[in-house]
Structure 1
Amino acid sequence: MAVAGPSSSKATPRRVPISILPPSSPGSDPISLVWSPNDVLYLRSQHRIMGILTGSLPLLPQQNAYLGVPLQLMPEEVQLLLSRDAVVLVDDEEAHAMGPSREEWQRWSGEREKERREERRQSAIQAREHRIAFEEALKKGKGAKAAKQDAAEAGGSTPAVAEPTEEELRLIAYSHITAGASDDLPWYSGPNKAAHDRLVSLYFSPSSHTTRSLVFSSLNSPPYNYFLSCGLRFGGDFVAYPGDPFRYHSHYTLTVPKDRNEGIAAGKLIADGRLGTAVKKVHVLATKDERGEGIDEGEGKPIFFSLTWAGFGT
C-alpha cells in the first residue's frame, strides 16, 4: 500500500458560522445558533458538540416532541470551538441590518415568482397528460382501475398537450419552502472578521472563561472524549456520555461549584448522592485545582470527586 507524503500546503480548516444574538436579559448569556443541518452534523461528529435543537418542524409546527434547527449552543461549547478555531461568530442583527434595496427585492421576488409559475405549469401539464392517457385507456375497453394504472405508467409518453392559460395556472396550488438560513439572500452580509473579533471580546474573551468552561473542555477533549450536554434534567450542570447519545446512555451527572472555597453543605452532598442513585448515574463534583505552578496564569487543571453510596453499587 502506498503511503502519501505530507502535503506541501495545509488545508483550510472548516469554520462553522454561529449566529450570535444579544442576551435576552441583563446578566444572561448571549444566544448562539447554528442554522445549517450540515454544520450541526459536522459539530456532532467531529467535535462531540450536541447543543439543543430549538426549531419547530415545518410540517408539524404545533408539536414539541421532535425539534429541528436552529441548534442552540451553550457558552462553554462556543468557547471550546473558538479555542479550536472551528467556528466564526456572526453578529446576526448586523448581518440583517441593511435589508434589501428595492431592486434587490424586485429581482429576488421575481425569481421566486418564476419558480412558482414553472411549478404550476408542470403540474398542469402532468395532470392533462394523465387525464388523456386515462381517457385513451377507457376507450380501449379497460376498466377504471386498469385505466388508472396504464395512465400512471404512461407518464410523459402521451402526445404534447396545449400550454395552460394564466387563469388555469392561478387556480393550481404550489409548494412554499421557507429557507432555513439567510445565506442565499443577496442582502445578507454574512461573517466578517471585525464582527467576529468584537463578539469574541464582548462575550467569549479568555477573562470570561469559568471553571465550567475548563471542566467542559477537559471532558470533551482527549483522553476522555465525552459528549456533554445540559444536565438540568438530571439535577446537574452537565451530563456526560461515553459516546454519541444515539448509541450510549449517560454515565455521569456533573455539578460545578461556582467557588471551590465556598464549601458544600452536607445536605447538598446527600441530596446529590441520592439524586445520582435515583437516576442511575454517578454524580460528580468538578472544580479547578488551584494548587501548584502556573496558577497565577489560570493554568489550573480540573479535578473530579464522585459521590458513591456505600452498598448501593453506583
Structure 2
Amino acid sequence: MTSTKARIHLRVANKKAYVWDVEDIATIRTKHRLCGVFTGTLPHLSQQNLFLGVPMVLLPEEVVLLVENEIAVLVDDPKAHIQPSVVELQRWNLKEKELAQLQLAQLATALENSPAVMSEEAVRKRKERELKKQAAAAAAKAAEAGLLAEADNSIFSPPENATAPPAVDTQYTVVIPASSTSFEWYNDSACLYTTVQSAKDAGIWEYPSNLHERAKCGVFRGLWEQGMYMGGGIKFGGDYLVYPGDPLRYHAHFSATVLESPTLSLPPMEIVAHGRLGTVTKKSHLLCGWDDEKKEVSYLSIEWAGFG
C-alpha cells in the first residue's frame, strides 16, 4: 500500500478537485493517462481562450479512478488553511519586508558595480541617435569645405566608422517566495482522505451518488484500462471522446455515450443521430452499457453506412 505522503494530493474546494503542482500534473498525464482541464490564466499569453495554465481540474471520474487505485488522496483545502493569529501575521509581514529590503539592497549593489542595464530597444535607439549626430557633424564639416553637394547623402546614411558603446548585462538574483503550501498556517495532515467513501462522509465529495454516475465511473475505468485517453465529449454528442493516445498527438477515434444498463432501450432516431453525428465528425459512436450488478461494461459501435 502506498503511503499518503507519496500519493498525489488532490485539493478539493467546492466539490471540485484541483492539482496545483506541475510535477503532479506531468505524472498524472504521462504515467496515468489522465488529461484533466487547465483553468488558470497565463498573464503573458495573448490567446487565453486557447492556452491556459495551472491549476488543473480533474473530471469526477478521473478523481475516483486515482483515489480507488491508491494513486492520490483527497484534501479538504479550505480546512487545511489554518487561520493565523495576529502575532503570526505580523511576524510574516516583517519577514516579507526584510526580504524585500534585502532584494533591493542586492539590486542596488549590482547596479553600482556594473554599467547601466539597457534593453535591446534602448540600445538600438541610442545607437541611432549617435549615428545621426555623427552624420550631421560630418555634413557640417563638408559644408564648410564647400562640399555640401557631396555630403547630402551622408545626412541619411551613417559613416562607416560609426560605432555605439556596447551594452553590458548585469546579472543579479531575484528571490521568489514559496507557494502557500509552505506557510506555517497551511497543514493538510488532519484533512486527508484516502477513500472516496471517507471523503463523502466528511462532506467534501459526493461523486458518484446515483446509478448514472456509477455507470460513468465504470465506463471510464473500462476504457482507461484498455489504454485509452478520455476527454469531455459534450461537443460531439457524447459523454466522452476516446483517444488511442495522448490527445496532443492523436485525434479521437470514438465518441462514447454511457447507458445505465446494457439492455436499456433507445429510440431509433437517437441511434440514427449518433451514427450520423459520428460520421460527420469522422468518429465511430460507442454505446457503453453498464451492468451495475456484474460491474461490467458492454460496448456497441455505431457507424453510418451508405446503401445502393
TM-score band by shorter chain is 0.7 to 0.9
Q: Which runs of 5+ in 2 are unaligned?
A: 119-160
Taking the aligned partners of 1:260 and 1:53, their CA distance within structure 2 comes to: 34
CA 1:177 to 1:308, structure 2 compared with 1: closer, same or farther past 3 Å? Answer: same
* Deviation of 1:38 (Å): 1.0
* Deviation of 1:36 (Å): 0.9
CA 1:178 to 1:65, structure 2 compared with 1: closer, same or farther past 3 Å? Answer: farther
Aligned to 2:301: 306
CA contact (8 A) 1:236 1:253 kept: yes
CA root-mean-square deviation? 3.2
Larger radius of gyration: 2
Aligned to 2:186: 188
CA 1:194 to 1:86, structure 2 compared with 1: closer, same or farther past 3 Å? Answer: closer
Taking the aligned partners of 2:117 and 2:260, their CA distance within structure 1 comes to: 74
The code of the aligned residue for 1:36 comes to D
* Deviation of 1:177 (Å): 5.8
CA contact (8 A) 2:11 2:18 kept: yes
Aligned to 1:242: 244
1:115 corresponds to 2:99 = yes
* Deviation of 1:31 (Å): 1.1
CA 1:226 to 1:195, structure 2 compared with 1: closer, same or farther past 3 Å? Answer: closer
1:21 corresponds to 2:13 = yes
Aligned to 2:215: 211
Q: Deviation per CA, 1:32-76, whole angstroms, max 9, x where unpaired?
A: 111111111111111111110011114348833211111111111
Tell which deviates more after alignment, 262-271 or 68-77.
Answer: 262-271
Mapping of 1:1-314 within 5 angstroms? 12=3, 14-22=6-14, 30-60=15-45, 63-96=48-81, 98-131=82-115, 147-149=165-167, 151-152=168-169, 181-192=179-190, 198-201=198-201, 202=203, 203=205, 210-221=214-225, 224-260=226-262, 262-289=264-291, 295=293, 299-311=294-306
Q: TM-score, normalised by structure 2?
A: 0.72
> Aligned with 2:241: secondary structure?
strand
CA contact (8 A) 2:232 2:241 kept: yes
Taking the aligned partners of 1:121 and 1:278, their CA distance within structure 2 comes to: 64
CA 1:287 to 1:178, structure 2 compared with 1: closer, same or farther past 3 Å? Answer: farther
* Deviation of 1:273 (Å): 1.0
Taking the aligned partners of 2:238 and 2:2, their CA distance within structure 1 comes to: 39
CA contact (8 A) 1:50 1:228 kept: yes
CA contact (8 A) 1:17 1:191 kept: no
The code of the aligned residue for 1:127 comes to L
CA contact (8 A) 2:261 2:291 kept: no
CA contact (8 A) 2:229 2:243 kept: yes
> Aligned with 1:253: secondary structure?
strand
Q: TM-score, normalised by structure 1?
A: 0.71
Q: Which runs of 5+ in 1 are unaligned?
A: 1-9, 23-29, 135-142, 157-173
CA contact (8 A) 2:70 2:194 kept: no
CA 1:133 to 1:119, structure 2 compared with 1: closer, same or farther past 3 Å? Answer: closer
Taking the aligned partners of 2:273 and 2:237, their CA distance within structure 1 comes to: 10
Identity %: 33
* Deviation of 1:196 (Å): 5.2
Taking the aligned partners of 1:286 and 1:274, their CA distance within structure 2 comes to: 18
Tell which deviates more after alignment, 74-83 or 11-20.
Answer: 11-20
CA contact (8 A) 2:258 2:290 kept: no
Taking the aligned partners of 1:60 and 1:311, their CA distance within structure 2 comes to: 46
> Aligned with 2:75: secondary structure?
strand
CA contact (8 A) 2:74 2:192 kept: no
Corresponding residue pairs, total: 257
* Deviation of 1:282 (Å): 1.0
Taking the aligned partners of 2:288 and 2:2, their CA distance within structure 1 comes to: 37
Tell which deviates more after alignment, 265-274 or 195-204.
Answer: 195-204
* Deviation of 1:16 (Å): 0.7
CA contact (8 A) 2:73 2:193 kept: no
* Deviation of 1:256 (Å): 0.7
> Aligned with 1:18: secondary structure?
strand
CA 1:280 to 1:200, structure 2 compared with 1: closer, same or farther past 3 Å? Answer: same
CA 1:311 to 1:175, structure 2 compared with 1: closer, same or farther past 3 Å? Answer: farther
CA contact (8 A) 1:90 1:192 kept: no
